Each structure stands twice: as C-alpha cells, then as structure tokens.
Amino acid sequence: MAAQPNRIRSRELAKAAMVSIRAWQGGERGKLACPICRQNGLQVLDKSARPHTAWFILACPSCELDEALAIASSAHSSDHD
C-alpha cells in the first residue's frame, strides 16, 4: 500500500502555508519553505475561481505534501441596506 501524501492538518500549518502563499504571490519562486518539513522547494499553483474563492495547490518534493487550500475572498460590501 502506498503511503498517504502529507496534508495540512492544523491551524499552525495552515498559517505557515499562508506565509508561503503570500511570498509566492509577492514573486518569490524556488525559495519557498514547505509548511510541514521546512525544506525549500515548495511548489504553489493558483487554481482560483475568483471573485469568491482563491484555491492554491501546494506540493513539496521533499516530504510529499500534496494539498489544496481554499481561501474565501473578503465579503463584498454594497451600498444597499
């Protein structure tokens, strides 16, 4: 039986993943640390369905992280009461 891929299973790991996603959005490539094993080489792929949700695929060749994170966009405010 093949080993299961690593997943982000805690709030702390989700926060670390967000730090890497924000760095990736800022233009960093190849230097991203995996939220699980902390090795450089985290791969991020944007699969977003804007405007409502941002989807990011995270993969790490070192620890076999294979995860998709959905991040809800900010609530849209309107001028209507």
Percent of the chain with pLDDT over 70: 81
In whole angstroms, what is the distance from residue 79 CA to residue 11 CA? 35
Start-to-end CA span in the chain (Å): 57
| pTM reported for the whole predicted model | 0.77
Please report, for the chain, the start and end positions of each structural domain, with discontinuous segments joined by +: 11-72
pLDDT of residue 75: 54
Least confident of 3-7, 33-37, 58-62, 64-68: 3-7
Q: What is the rounded CA–CA span in Å between residue 43 and residue 20? A: 10
> Is the Cβ–Cβ distance between 54 and 47 less than 8 Å?
no
pLDDT tens per residue, range 16-27? 999 999 999 898
Encode pLDDT of 30-41 as tens digits: 789 999 999 999
